[in-house]
Amino acid sequence: MPFQFQSPDAEQRAKRVEFILMDVDGVMTDGRIYLIPDGKSGCNEMKTFDVSDGVAITFAHRVGLHTGILTGRVSDSVTWRAKDLGISIVEQGSHNKIETYEKILNEHKLADSILCYIGDDWQDLPMMRRAALAVAPANACDDVKKAAHIVTEKPGGRGAVREALEFILKSQNKWNDAVQRYQT
């Protein structure tokens, strides 16, 4: 499926990606947050994730790419989803995402030049301007879309991550390796 937008150099940029860092709300989810009172003066936060995104994350790991989460909110749902998928870096509760981004780069010896960042709103812009490949889901705000090398056809929580990862793996000629076990 074609993207809403793809910069002329997007494929070259995708070839360099070794690590995919994702926002959660509006990227891995549709952005809706369900607050469920726990009956003890607090509440639990529920989110919904997309299975096809999860499959693509698993495929990416299978062929040697790494993934991480960078989000301003804190939720057990995210902890569980990341654990389920083997997402190696999980940073929740970040009030200054670019500071946390710098920390991630330093701690894990990563560089902008091998990073893909997927974000949907203003707080994601600093990382999108730095990463080799910046991806915005269809629901992203206009300014984020303008900063992206790719704007996916599908919105966050509905396959945007799948589209981005499939493009990266295919650009790197790794898609066939990822799905090889299902081909008879």
Give min distance, CB of 123 to Mg ion, in A: 7
Residue among 68, 62, 181 at smallest CA distance from 116: 68
Parallel, antiparallel, or unpaired for β 19-22 and 66-70?
A: parallel
Contact range with Mg ion by CB under 5 A, out of 9-17, 20-28, 34-42, 96-104 = 20-28
Contact with Mg ion (CB under 5 A): which of 19, 20, 26, 68? 26
Phi, psi of 105 (to 5 degrees): -60, -45
Residue 172 makes CB contacts below 8 A (sequence gap 6+) with 14, 15, 17, 63
30 interacts with Mg ion by CB under 5 A = no
Give min distance, CB of 23 to Mg ion, in A: 4
Q: What is the enclosing helix (H) or strand (E) of 135? A: strand 133-136
The 129-148 contact track toward Mg ion, x by CB under 5 A, reads --------------------
Contact with Mg ion (CB under 5 A): which of 19, 20, 25, 139? 25
Residues forming contacts to Mg ion in the complex (CB under 5 A) are: 23, 25-26, 120-121
